[in-house]
Amino acid sequence: MEFNITARLDDLQKLIQKRKMTLDNIRDLYDRTIDGITINSTQLKNIAQHLNVTAAYVIDELGGEYDKSQSCVFGGLIRFDRLRHVQGEPAYFYRHLLKTTSDKNLLVLRTTPLFPSAEKAILNAGHKAREFVYILSGTVGVKWGSHPHLHNEVLNEGDSIFIEEWTPHCFYKLEPDSQILAIDYL
């Protein structure tokens, strides 16, 4: 059964940002209109598969309407990688490891910090997710907090840190090929 839903572009952007994606990552999966966006049933299925959530969850997040009697469960894990730039410089390389439809708020990423030093690492503004970070390999620096309470710590393979929501923070590599496992709970 073919159907369309309409929604605001801002709502779609907020949905995909929860998975550290941008509109460029799904540019062919929605149609722009004067008032917002339109998503047909095939596009909805593809967005849900890309995010590894149910179509019903996508529609609920977009505030759209659909026939709940139709099946809206789609399986399959689609790998997603993203290079994030901060102020024009490469900052992080994300690779999604786990996305689950049973807990839409859980996100697990293998992340490679690309900032080369504490001096060049730029704090983010914090985010809604609480974040547990485990150092998979190498040595990584982490800065968190805000002035005058800015902290800086060196973490080695096997170390971990918990970052509360809305806490500004950043990671930087102290050894080549350092990687972290970031477990975000939105």
pLDDT of residue 175: 95
Grouping H, G, I as helix, E, B as strand and the rest as coil, residue 186 is coil
Q: What is the pLDDT of residue 67?
A: 41
Q: Which one-letter amino acid corresponds to residue 121?
A: A
User: Which structural domains are found in the chain, ordered by start?
Assistant: 4-62 (no CATH), 81-185 (2.60.120.10)
Distance from the Cα of residue 7 to its chain's centroid: 21
Whether residue 119 has pLDDT greater than 50: yes
**pLDDT tens per residue, range 158-169:** 999 999 999 999
List pLDDT tens digits, range 59-83: 778 775 444 434 333 334 445 677 8
Q: How far is residue 108 from each of residues 105, 129, 180, measured CA to CA in Å?
A: 10, 12, 10
Give the pLDDT score at 66: 44
Angular region, 20: left φ>0, alpha ψ -120 to 50, beta rest: left
Using CA atoms, how far apart are residues 158 and 148, in angstroms rounded to an integer?
Answer: 29
The amino acid occupying position 122 is: I
| Residues across the chain | 186
Structure confidence at residue 152 (pLDDT): 95
Residue-level pLDDT at 52: 79
State the pLDDT at residue 36. 83
CB neighbour list of residue 160: distance below 8 Å, 6 or more residues apart: 132, 133, 134, 135
pTM value is 0.62
Name the average pLDDT for the chain. Answer: 82
Tell me the per-residue pLDDT of 23-53, one tens digit each, with 9 for 90 and over.
888 888 888 888 788 888 788 888 888 887 7
Residue 130 CA to residue 61 CA, distance in Å, equals: 20
Q: How far apart are alpha carbons 58 and 8 in whole angstroms?
A: 13
